[in-house]
Amino acid sequence: MTGAGRPAPAPAAAWRDFPPLALAPPLAGALQAFVELGYHGATIRDIARRAGLSVPGVYHHFPSKQHLLVALLDLTMDDLLTRSRQARAQGDGPVERFSRVVECLALFHMHRRDLGFIGASEMRSVAEPARSRIAATRTEQQRMVDDEVEEGCRRGLFRAPHPHEAARAVVTLCTALPQWWSPSGPQSAELVAREYVDFSLDLVRAAR
């Protein structure tokens, strides 16, 4: 499945490339239903209808409704972490690394808006032990921003009085993007992402 096609023509900015998301029908149906109704509000019949399947048709591919949610969240965090690591690896110095990770976070939460939305809103519906595992990857994502802010402060490039709080504010801004940004709105994802990099540089009081 993975590894087919795509000769990876521009690996330099693969983290900025968001091809149309191709999910298996049950996952795509579950994603839509969870976004509109929430995990508990969505029914298996709902999901099956959106997937163009019967109820047993869904259960043929996934053993339970809970597994659908976990699969979506795993897929989300895998993609986000991979992109963030690429984005950071490309940056030179804390300011550039910070800026690219923020841009990546913002782009992801707009181009993968639905995934980002349930990633932020449905964690409480995930049963253990999956919850702890996924929460750990979210912590790792947060720490990636934390580290750059702290390093920037140490080198005098940022002047945030409370680096940790500023980093949390930056991540919060990006993860909240799916709540209001829409592809049919007036602003493109790329424009907003640049704007949010500026916002984030303001929040950490980067030297201008």
Partner DNA sequence: GAGACGACCGATCGATCGATCGGTTGCGAG
Partner DNA sequence: CTCGCAACCGATCGATCGATCGGTCGTCTC
Residue 66 sits in the site that holds a second copy (CB under 8 A):
no
Residue that is written with structure tokens 């300011």 in the block: 95
Percentages helix, strand, coil for the chain, rounded to the nearest 5? 70, 0, 30
| Spatial contact of 109 and 177, defined as CB atoms under 8 Å apart | yes
Residue selected from 110, 118, 149, 203 as contacting a second copy according to rule CB under 8 A: 203
140 binds a second copy (CB under 8 A): no
When asked if residue 161 is in the footprint of a second copy (CB under 8 A), the reply is yes
C-alpha to C-alpha distance for 22 and 168, rounded to whole angstroms: 31
Q: Does residue 206 belong to the site contacting DNA (CB under 7 A)?
A: no
44 binds, among DNA, a second copy, none (CB under 5 to 8 A by kind): DNA
Query: Are 102 and 123 contacting, i.e. CB atoms less than 8 angstroms apart?
Result: no
Residue 63 binds which entry of a second copy, DNA, none, with Cβ cut-offs from 5 to 8 Å by kind? DNA
Nearer Cβ to a second copy, position 5 or 180? 180
CA 67 to chain centroid, in Å, comes to: 19
Contact 29, 72 (CB under 8 A): no
Interface mask toward DNA for 47-76; x: CB under 7 A: -x---xxxxxx-xxx-xxxx----------
Among DNA, a second copy, none, residue 76 binds (CB under 5-8 Å by kind):
none
